[in-house]
């Protein structure tokens, strides 16, 4: 599966491999792998030259190797080099010598009138820990103003490989169309700004033995991580076989949020779905009359999986109901207002931490920040760490929404979701996700699998809609449940039918 490695873990593997290889072997392999990809991107003999940007460190050495290999293949190559203040490493010095001995030309700066078939970014790699400034910043801004294919080596310069954040409060980073990352994939290429800056990510292992790689605790969220939970339904099943979901919310003026969550639960296969309104709510849904409506203050939640928070508000009634739910034994999904209420109350936090039944929390960055007592900027600066901290603090499964949604487990395991698109940045899509999480829990899925699968299918449904011409601009939350149903049934159809008895 798609393992993701921190910078520290990559360094560990790199050092172990380098100790068994001739000096410079890894840099040479990186240059060969990236040059092959560059040639594929060029698609033949380019009419315009290739620009290679080489920084002062070993990432620059990789770039020199790429330039020498492309020149050897007959490509017209221009190199702009930012020299280091001291002596370069022996490997980088050797690579620079290869580039100077090739037909590549060197320039002091990026020509103003340059029209490039490809730009190779080898300015700074995974070791960069400070914002770009001076000549490097100007160079990155110039690259981002050019309309051509950009191949980043290891990580787009200026992007944090661990977090996916652009370094610095007013930082810049190369906006690549493609990134070839070395030895192992990096989490920062798949979450937060990383998805916009890295483009298509390719991994070049550089021939490093898998045994040299550390055990990964972070993975890309892919169907092999949860597909065993998909089970074809038996003919003798009935509505009681697939669980009850109760969505608690619907304060005055916010009745739509729990209905969206409830429709998602219904379309993803829950047997019975209730909307339990905090305030006086609608009697029925004339679009989905299968939904049943109740008063949250008097409804018996025993035996149901509960989704609490969509449009719940912050009234005293909402707080009392949430406290009761936290003390209960039902599987629980906390979203939106329920998360805000927990964040504001040490008592509710203690109740959540003490739960024995499964809990899934689905915060967006600001809600996560309230839970942690920090700002949304701090959360976005290290989404993985924030999600893991919440999961550990509340012994819960956490879905930190956003570009490259992070799913964190209480044991420290985490996944980054690759599906989804900007169409999900609209009101109500989070309610749909919460309802989907609750539906899978109600159908007997383990909380880990339910969180992973719900996030993946939610994003995949949005991707399918966009592929069909629905969005991303103007895609609405109400369009997602039916698309989720399609994705879910296709996933189930790919699983072999199993024997067993129907649930009672």
Q: What is the pLDDT of residues 168-192, one digit of tens each?
A: 999 999 999 999 999 999 999 999 9
**pLDDT of amino acid 110:** 87
Cα separation, 326 vs 307, in Å, equals 11
CA 278 to chain centroid: 33
Cα separation, 272 vs 244, in Å, equals 5
The token pair at 142 is 């110039």
How large is the average pLDDT for residues 450-464? 98
**Given a cut of 70, is residue 499 above it in pLDDT?**
no
| Predicted confidence band of residue 280 (pLDDT cuts 50, 70, 90) | confident
User: Which residues carry a binding-site annotation for (6S)-NADPHX?
Assistant: 58-62, 125-131, 154, 257, 311, 364, 431
Dihedral angle at the C-alpha atoms of 145, 146, 151, 152, nearest 10 degrees?
A: -20
Range of weakest confidence among 20-24, 84-88, 203-207, 384-388: 84-88
Cα separation, 394 vs 390, in Å, equals 6
Among the listed residues 442, 355, 441, the one whose alpha carbon sits nearest the alpha carbon of residue 399 = 441
Alpha helices in 268-345 (DSSP H): 316-327, 337-343
* DSSP, residue by residue, 168-182: STT------SEEEEE
User: Which residues carry a binding-site annotation?
Assistant: 58-62, 121, 125-131, 154, 157, 257, 311, 364, 401-405, 430-431
pLDDT tens-digit series, residues 411-424:
999 999 999 999 99
Strands 178-182 and 149-153: parallel
**Given a cut of 70, is residue 502 above it in pLDDT?**
no
User: Mean pLDDT over all residues of the chain?
Assistant: 95
| Predicted confidence band of residue 494 (pLDDT cuts 50, 70, 90) | confident
- Going by CATH, does the domain composed of 223-493 fall within 3.40.1190.20? yes
**Given a cut of 90, is residue 443 above it in pLDDT?**
yes
CB atoms within 10 A of CB 16: 15
Residue 352 sits at the vertex; the CA angle it makes with 346 and 353, to the nearest 5 degrees, is 90
Cα separation, 118 vs 138, in Å, equals 19
Cα separation, 409 vs 375, in Å, equals 22
Q: Are 492 and 230 in contact (CB under 8 A)?
A: yes
**pLDDT of amino acid 240:** 87
pLDDT tens-digit series, residues 44-85:
778 799 999 999 999 999 999 999 999 999 999 999 999 887
CA 424 to chain centroid: 13
Q: Are 201 and 176 in contact (CB under 8 A)?
A: no
User: Which residues carry a binding-site annotation for K(+)?
Assistant: 59, 121, 157
Per CATH, the number for 3-216 is 3.40.50.10260
**pLDDT of amino acid 85:** 79
User: Which residues carry a binding-site annotation for AMP?
Assistant: 401-405, 430
**Given a cut of 90, is residue 316 above it in pLDDT?**
yes
**pLDDT of amino acid 497:** 54
Cα separation, 404 vs 414, in Å, equals 12
Cα separation, 226 vs 223, in Å, equals 5
Cα separation, 186 vs 161, in Å, equals 6
Cα separation, 394 vs 232, in Å, equals 33
The token pair at 55 is 């920084």
How large is the average pLDDT for residues 263-284? 94
pLDDT tens-digit series, residues 335-362:
999 999 999 999 999 999 999 999 999 9
**Given a cut of 50, is residue 504 above it in pLDDT?**
no
Local structure of 167: helix, strand or coil = coil
**Given a cut of 70, is residue 496 above it in pLDDT?**
no
Q: Are 177 and 200 in contact (CB under 8 A)?
A: yes
CA 397 to chain centroid: 15
**pLDDT of amino acid 86:** 80
Q: Are 61 and 96 in contact (CB under 8 A)?
A: yes
**pLDDT of amino acid 231:** 86
The yes-or-no answer to whether 3-216 and 223-493 have a common fold is no
Residue ranges covered by each domain of the chain? 3-216, 223-493
Q: Are 61 and 89 in contact (CB under 8 A)?
A: yes
Kindly state the helix (H) or strand (E) to which residue 228 belongs, with its residue range.
none
Cα separation, 50 vs 256, in Å, equals 53
**Given a cut of 80, is residue 142 above it in pLDDT?**
yes
User: Which neighbouring-strand residues pair with 274?
Assistant: 246, 292
Cα separation, 475 vs 191, in Å, equals 22
Cα separation, 135 vs 139, in Å, equals 6
Cα separation, 118 vs 459, in Å, equals 31
How large is the average pLDDT for residues 298-325? 97
| Predicted confidence band of residue 503 (pLDDT cuts 50, 70, 90) | very low
């Amino acid at each position: 599966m798609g393992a993701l490695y921190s910078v520290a873990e990559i360094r560990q593997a790199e050092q172990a491999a380098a100790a068994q290889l001739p000096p410079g072997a890894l840099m040479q392999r990186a240059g060969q792998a990236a040059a092959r990809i560059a040639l594929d991107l060029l698609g033949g003999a380019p009419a315009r030259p290739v620009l290679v940007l080489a920084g002062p460190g070993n990432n620059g050495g990789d770039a020199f190797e790429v330039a020498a290999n492309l020149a050897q293949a007959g490509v017209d190559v221009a190199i702009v080099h930012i020299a280091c203040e001291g002596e370069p490493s022996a490997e980088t010095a050797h690579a620079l010598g290869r580039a100077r001995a090739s037909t590549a030309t060197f320039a002091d700066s990026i020509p103003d009138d340059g029209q490039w078939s490809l730009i190779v970014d080898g300015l700074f790699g995974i070791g960069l820990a400070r914002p770009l400034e001076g000549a490097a910043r100007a160079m990155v801004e110039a690259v981002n103003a050019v309309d051509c294919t950009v191949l980043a080596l290891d990580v787009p310069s200026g992007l944090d490989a661990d977090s996916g954040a652009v370094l610095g409060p007013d930082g810049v980073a190369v906006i690549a169309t493609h990134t070839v990352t070395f030895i192992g994939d990096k989490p920062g290429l798949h979450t937060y700004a990383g998805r916009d800056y890295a483009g298509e990510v390719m991994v070049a292992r550089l021939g490093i033995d898998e045994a040299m790689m550390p055990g990964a605790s972070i993975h890309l969220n892919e169907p092999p991580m949860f597909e065993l939970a998909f089970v074809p339904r038996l003919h003798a099943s009935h509505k009681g076989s697939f669980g009850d979901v109760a969505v608690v919310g619907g304060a005055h003026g916010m009745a739509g949020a729990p209905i969206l969550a409830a429709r998602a639960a219904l379309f993803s296969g829950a047997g019975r779905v209730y909307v339990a309104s905090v305030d006086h709510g609608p009697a029925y849904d004339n679009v989905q009359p299968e939904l049943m409506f109740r008063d949250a203050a008097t409804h018996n939640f025993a035996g149901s999986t509960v989704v609490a928070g969509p449009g719940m508000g912050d009234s005293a009634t909402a707080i009392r109901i949430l406290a009761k739910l936290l003390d209960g034994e039902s599987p629980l999904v906390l979203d939106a207002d329920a998360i805000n209420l927990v964040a504001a109350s040490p008592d509710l936090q203690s109740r959540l931490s003490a739960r024995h039944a499964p809990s899934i929390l689905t915060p967006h960055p600001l809600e996560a920040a309230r839970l942690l007592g920090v700002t949304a900027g701090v959360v976005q600066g290290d989404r993985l760490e924030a999600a893991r901290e919440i999961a550990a603090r509340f012994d819960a499964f956490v879905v930190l929404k956003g570009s490259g949604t992070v799913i964190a487990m209480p044991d420290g395991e985490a996944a980054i979701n690759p599906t989804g698109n900007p169409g999900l940045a609209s009101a109500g899509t989070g309610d749909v996700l919460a309802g989907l999480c609750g539906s899978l829990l109600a159908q007997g899925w383990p909380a880990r699998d339910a969180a992973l699968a719900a996030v993946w299918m939610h994003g995949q449904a949005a991707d399918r809609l966009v592929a069909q011409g629905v969005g991303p601009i103007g895609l609405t939350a109400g369009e997602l449940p039916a698309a989720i149903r399609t994705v879910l049934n296709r996933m189930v159809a790919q699983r072999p039918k199993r024997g067993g008895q129907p649930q009672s």
